[in-house]
Structure 1
Amino acid sequence: MDGASIIEQLMTVEGRADPYPLYARAHELGAAAPAGPGAVLVVGHAAANQVLRDPGFVLEDTKALTAHHAELFAHPAIELLGRSILQRNAPDHGRVRSLIASAFNARRVAALRPTIEAAVRRLLDELAARGADGSPVDFMDAFAFRLPVEVICELLGVPAADRLRFRGLVSDLTVILELIQDFGELAAADAAAVELCSYFEELVAERLSRPTGDLVSDLARTAADSPDRISGEELLSNLVLLLVAGFETTTNLLGNGLALLFRHPEAAEGLRTGALDPSLFTDEVLRHDSPVQVTSRISTAPGLTVAGLPTPTGTVAFVMLGAANHDPARYPRPDRFDPTRTDSQPLSFGGGAHFCLGSRLARLENDIAVPALLDRFPRLAPGGVATRRDRLILRGYETLPVITR
C-alpha cells in the first residue's frame, strides 16, 4: 500500500471510522512518502512539525484556489472560510490574527476559569436532572456541546438565548473542511454559511450602536474605524471561525476523552482521587484520539524536503496529525492510551504561524470539566451504543449515551 492508496482508503467510510490501522501502514513507508503526482503524505511527528513551522510551506489560500478553481467561490461556505485566518497566509493572516490573539492570551484565558466552573456546575445539574430516572442521556448534546459553546459565546458576546441554535449549523458548515470529493454536495454548508453570516452581521450592527465590551464589540469598532486593519467581510468570516473553532474541537475533545475513560476505568479513578493530573489526561486524549486529524500545506520554495523526500514547489503535503501523534519513533507503544505520559507534545492544535489560538481555552475547559463530571457522577457509565460522526478531519462523536446513576 503506497501513500496515495492510504489517502484513498482514509476517505472511505471504514477509513474514517477508524483511521489508526491505516496510519500504522503509513508509518511503514517512512516519516514521509509520495502520495501521487505532486503530493506527499507526512506521518512522522518530527516531519509534521517541520512542515507546520517551515515558512516555505503555506496554506492553499484564496489566491491559489481562485487561480485554479475559481468556480469554488460560487459556494458561500468556501468563500466564507476563505476570508478567515484559517485559510489566509502572510501578510493578511498576521494582520487579522494580531487583532484576535489578545483575547486568548494566558492571562485572559486564566481569568475565564470562574466562568467555566460556573457553566460546568450548571450543566452538571441539568445532566443530573435529565438522568434522574436512570434513563440514558446523550452526553454530546447535554454537555460536550453546551459547555464550549457557552464559553466561546460569552467571550464573543453572543446572547444566551441564541447559543443552542449553532450546533447543527456548524456541523453543516464544517463539511467543507473535509477532503471533499464532490463539491456539488455543499447545499447545506452554503445555507449554514449564509445564515451564520447574517446572524453576525446583525450582531455587529447591534454592538456598534450599543457596545458591551465583548470581543464582537471590540472587533466591530476596529472594522468601522480602521477597515485597513480588518474589513467588514473579514470581520464576519472571522467571527464565524471563532464560533466554529471555539466549540467544535472542544466538543470532540470532551466526547473522545469520556469514551476513553469508559474503556480505561483506572484513569477515571485517578482523576476522581487526584492521583492523575488532568492536564496530562488532556494531553493524552489529544494525542491518542485527536479532534483534528489532518491539515495540509503547499511548498512554495525550491529545494524543500520533508524527511529527506524532495517537495518541489507546488507539492501538496498532507500532514496527518493523528498519525504523527501515533509515531512509534516519537512515542513508545503509541497505540496505548497512557495518561501518565509526561512528554506528549501532541500536534493536534497544529504548529507555527497557524497554531490554534484557542488551545489554552480548550485545555482549560477539559481540565476543569472532566474531573468535575467524574466527581459528580461516581457511577457514570455508558448508556447505549455511541455513534461516531462520519468525518475524517474533525473526529468526534455524534452521540454518546450515558447513565448518571
Structure 2
Amino acid sequence: MDRRQVVDLGEYGEAFRRDPHQVYARLRAAGPVHRVRPPDADASYETWLVVGYEEARAALADPRLAKDGAKIGVTFIDQQLIGRHLLTTDPPQHTRLRGLVARAFTMRRVEQLRPRVQRITDDLLDEMLAHEGADLIASLAYPLPLTVICELLGVPEMDRTEFRKISTQVVAPTDPEAEHEAVVRLGEYLTELIEDKRCAGPTGDLLGDLVRTTAEDGDRLSPEELRGMAFLLLIAGHETTVNLIGNGVLALLTHPDQLAALRADMSLIDGAVEETLRWEGPVENATIRYAAEPLELGGVRIERGEHVMIGLTAAQRDGVRFPAPDRFDIRRDTRGHLAFGHGIHYCLGAPLARLEGRTAIATLLDRAPGLALDGPHGEWLPGMLMRGLRTLPVRW
C-alpha cells in the first residue's frame, strides 16, 4: 500500500456517522488496513485503521501494539487527571491491575446482581409503560446500566444525574473543551468519593472493596490507580450497555422477521444479544494502540510510534468470517465476535453487560407486546469510539 495515500473519513460528512458500514465495506474491499484521518481530527493527525476481521483479531492480541503511550513518548492530560487503568497499561502493570480488580469484581458478584437487575428493569418499565410512548434510551437503556453500576460501585443516588452528564461528554464529546472540563470534574469527584470510602470503613460495594483489596504479597491499588479504575468501571460499565440495549431494540424493530422469531421462542434471547453485539456493537473502534516497534499487519508496514485504531464494527461485518455479514440473524453462529475485544484486554465487564442486555430486552418484549418505533430515531453519537443512539422513540 502507498503510505502517502490517506483516506479522509471527514469527507463523508454526516453519512459516515449515520452508516459507517458502507464506508468500512469499501475499505475492506481495497485491503484490511488503511491510513486514515478521522472525522473532526486535527488536519495533521493520521492513524492506521484495521478493518479486516483476522487482522483486527491479531492486532488486539499483539504485544507490539501498546496501550501505554509513554512507550513512544506520548502522554495525555486525561491520564494525569484520572490515573492509569486497564486501557492505558501493558504487562506487567496491566497484569497486576487486572489481578487486583478481578479479586473484587468476580463472576459470583455479577451473578448475585441478577435479581437486582430484574427489579430495576421492572421498576423502569412500570414508569415507562404508564405512558403511550417514550424515548427508550432515556426511559430504560440509560438508567438501567447507570443505576446498576452506580449501586455496584457505591455512587450515591444524588450524584447520578450529574454523573450522567459528565460521562456522556467523556465518551462522545461535543468539543475538546467540553471533554477536558468533564474529565477534570470527574477526576475531582472520584477523588472525593474514594476518600469517603476510605474513611467510612467496609461498605460492601465494589469501590469500597477495591480500596481495601490486597494481593498475597501485600500489593494494593494506589490512590491514582483507584481513581483510574473507578473511572474505567463507571464509564465503560454503563455507556457501552446503553448502546447494546438501544442498538438491540432498534435492530429487532427494523427486522420484524427476527422479532417474530424471538417472540415465538424467547430461548433465542442470548442469540439476539450476541448478534446485536456483532451486527451493531456498542463500541465502534477500540481505543488507540501505539506501535512500540515496527511491525507488518495486513501487508502494511507500521513504523514505531505510529497510531493504530482497530475497527470492531468494521471487522464484524467481514464476510470472510461472517457470511452475509450485513444480515441481522439471531440464529447466527456469532462465536468469535470482537465486541468485547480479544486477548488480555478482553472486557472485564462482559458478563454484566450480557446480563443487563438480556434482562432489558427480554422483559421489554414480554411487557410490551405491541412495541414499535414511533417515528425516526435520533442521531448517532459523534466520534469513532461509541456506536449508539441519542434517542429511540417507541410506542406500544
**What TM-score do you get using the length of structure 2 for normalisation?**
0.88
Amino acid at match of 1:321: L
- The match for 1:182 is none
- The match for 1:181 is none
Q: Which of residues 188, 196, 221 is equivalent to 2:178?
A: 188
Structure 1 residues 322 and 207: CA distance shift in structure 2, 3 A: same
Amino acid at match of 1:400: L
- For 1:41-56, what aligned pairs fall within 5 Å after superposition? 41-56=49-64
Structure 1 residues 38 and 209: CA distance shift in structure 2, 3 A: closer
- Tell me if structure 1 keeps the 8 A contact 2:212–2:220: no
- Tell me if structure 2 keeps the 8 A contact 1:253–1:286: yes
Distance between the aligned counterparts of 2:157 and 2:12, measured in 1?
A: 37
- The match for 1:402 is 394
Amino acid at match of 1:19: P
Distance between the aligned counterparts of 1:7 and 1:103, measured in 2?
A: 43
Query: How many angstroms does 1:17 deviate by?
Result: 2.1
Structure 1 residues 201 and 157: CA distance shift in structure 2, 3 A: same
- Tell me if structure 2 keeps the 8 A contact 1:271–1:371: no
- The match for 1:317 is 308
Structure 1 residues 103 and 258: CA distance shift in structure 2, 3 A: farther
- For 1:10-49, what aligned pairs fall within 5 Å after superposition? 12-35=13-36, 39-49=47-57
Structure 1 residues 110 and 11: CA distance shift in structure 2, 3 A: farther
Structure 2 gaps of 5+ residues are 38-44
SS of match in other structure, 1:294:
coil
Distance between the aligned counterparts of 1:101 and 1:20, measured in 2?
A: 35
- The match for 1:292 is 283
Distance between the aligned counterparts of 1:186 and 1:34, measured in 2?
A: 23
- The match for 1:250 is 241
Structure 1 residues 325 and 236: CA distance shift in structure 2, 3 A: same
Q: Which deviations, in whole Å up to 9, do the C-alpha atoms of 1:153-202 show, x marking residues without a partner?
A: 121112233323322110111247x9xxxxxx422222222322232222
Distance between the aligned counterparts of 2:12 and 2:284, measured in 1?
A: 12
- The match for 1:206 is 196
- State percent identity of aligned pairs: 39
**1:197 maps onto 2:197 in alignment:** no
SS of match in other structure, 1:375:
helix
Distance between the aligned counterparts of 2:223 and 2:65, measured in 1?
A: 29
**1:169 maps onto 2:171 in alignment:** no
SS of match in other structure, 2:324:
coil
- For 1:135-154, what aligned pairs fall within 5 Å after superposition? 136-154=133-151
Distance between the aligned counterparts of 2:218 and 2:186, measured in 1?
A: 21
Query: How many angstroms does 1:329 deviate by?
Result: 0.8
Q: Number of paired residues?
A: 383
**Aligned-pair Cα RMSD in Å:** 2.7
**What TM-score do you get using the length of structure 1 for normalisation?**
0.86
Distance between the aligned counterparts of 1:144 and 1:345, measured in 2?
A: 26
- Tell me if structure 1 keeps the 8 A contact 2:83–2:224: no
- Tell me if structure 1 keeps the 8 A contact 2:82–2:187: no
Distance between the aligned counterparts of 1:230 and 1:17, measured in 2?
A: 41
- For 1:361-400, what aligned pairs fall within 5 Å after superposition? 361-387=352-378, 388-400=380-392
Query: How many angstroms does 1:21 deviate by?
Result: 0.7
Distance between the aligned counterparts of 1:390 and 1:168, measured in 2?
A: 15
Query: How many angstroms does 1:18 deviate by?
Result: 1.3
Distance between the aligned counterparts of 2:152 and 2:354, measured in 1?
A: 16
**1:265 maps onto 2:256 in alignment:** yes
Query: How many angstroms does 1:280 deviate by?
Result: 1.0
Query: How many angstroms does 1:112 deviate by?
Result: 1.6
**1:278 maps onto 2:269 in alignment:** yes
Amino acid at match of 2:169: D
SS of match in other structure, 2:390:
strand
- Tell me if structure 1 keeps the 8 A contact 2:266–2:362: no
Distance between the aligned counterparts of 2:218 and 2:15, measured in 1?
A: 47
Distance between the aligned counterparts of 1:276 and 1:307, measured in 2?
A: 39
- Tell me if structure 1 keeps the 8 A contact 2:7–2:35: no
